Amino acid sequence: MTGYERIMAALDGKKTDILPYIDGFDCHEARLAFFGPQVMSGTWNEIALLEAELFHSDWVIVPVPLNIPGGPGIFCDVLTEDQTHLLVKTFFGGIWYWRKKPYYAKAFYNPVKDIEDLEKIPEPNWEELRKRVKSIKEPIKRLKDRGYFVTMEGKGSFEAAWMLFRGLENTWMDIASEPELVKKMSRRAVDAVIKLALMVVDECEVDGLWITNDMGTQTAAYFSPKSYQELFKENDRRIVQALHSRGKKVMFHSHGNVMSLFEDFVEAGFDSIDPLDAYDGMDFRSIKEKYGKKVTLKGGISCTIGQMKKEDLLKHIQDIVTIGGEERFILSGAGGVPPEMSLENFNAYRDFIYRARRGDYKKT
């Protein structure tokens, strides 16, 4: 099976020849550590292909329509950049800053202070943004020609609102004090994500949209199921419906302990949910038992792999592969390989996953 066939089978609840898998590095700093500055001077698609081949991934995620805070993507305007820093402007006027090493990202300027500001913000120049899609058409085609499952990265109902308009801390407070503002921000932000995603769908051979929507700390969700249902759930459902109407898949990502929201995520209609990290308090075994026949589960490998001893790392992977099983499961890291992982452990990690995907995980 090709990577595309393997991921599609997993999303549709069918058997695969080997365990489907996607992984990579967790940030620009990690890529610099393992690839070096000369490799990192390449184009995004060259780096994406190298990373996919290094990890033997089945799936490649491209940086559109919006992949803040991982990076700006093609729909943001770079204001200034050098070897260590990056400053960009979003299509709604927000300003984001990145420090490349050590990795750090922050919104410098949020364009919305109140509901009047939200209503005054003009629409982006959609036709200008549409022209930028042409720059990724051929790179995506080359990835597809190699047999990869290829998706865009976007933002969901909560992240899109705070990243584009109001900032994280303000939006947290608004959920309690200004819920109507949050509802309007979420709807307008999701409208933009859908519009940009469909631009890419119309022009490129993408297979779907992977949306990130982090909603929790290690102990609990940021808000109650009632708040999610009233403010965000319908907007997540709209993303799913828009992409499904074009025959595309929609995958959902949320870090944090979101056990209390998981039923709502399933009901929103996502084709897969990740990353299911025990470090965040996610009980992968119970999720598999309760939801494993309803939705494809993706992830399992903890974000703490950089601190694990080799024997603990290999046992962790074996446990996750055993729980995930052979159907409706895509193995992947919760955040990817971090810069602090040793080269020895990195090589062991790659080798063990290669064998574990083929059922040969008992040998170390």
Question: What confidence tens digit (pLDDT) does each residue in 8-40 have?
Answer: 999 999 999 999 999 999 887 888 889 988 888
pTM score, whole prediction? 0.94
Give dist(CA 309, CA 214) in Å, integer: 28
Give dist(CA 36, CA 29) in Å, integer: 10
**What DSSP letter does each residue of 115-181 carry, written as one string?**
HHHHHHSPPP-HHHHHHHHHHHHHHHHHHHHTT-EEEEEEE-HHHHHIIIII-HHHHHHHHHH-HHH
HSE-up of residue 31 (Cα within 13 Å, Cβ side) = 24
Amino acid symbol at 29: E
Whether the per-residue pLDDT at 157 is higher than 80: the answer is: yes
Q: What is the mean pLDDT of the chain?
A: 94
Whether the per-residue pLDDT at 364 is higher than 50: the answer is: no
pLDDT tens column, 270-318? 999 999 999 999 999 999 999 999 999 999 999 999 999 999 999 999 9
pLDDT tens column, 39-78? 888 888 888 999 999 999 999 998 776 777 777 888 999 9
- Nearest Cα neighbor of 130 from 53, 203, 66, 38 is 203
For residue 174, the model assigns a pLDDT of 97
Give dist(CA 52, CA 204) in Å, integer: 19
Helix 179-203 to helix 233-244 angle (10° resolution) is 10
325: tokens are 């099983």
Give dist(CA 21, CA 272) in Å, integer: 13
pLDDT tens column, 327-363? 999 999 998 999 999 999 999 999 999 999 998 865 4
pLDDT tens column, 204-221? 999 999 999 999 999 999
Give dist(CA 78, CA 242) in Å, integer: 29
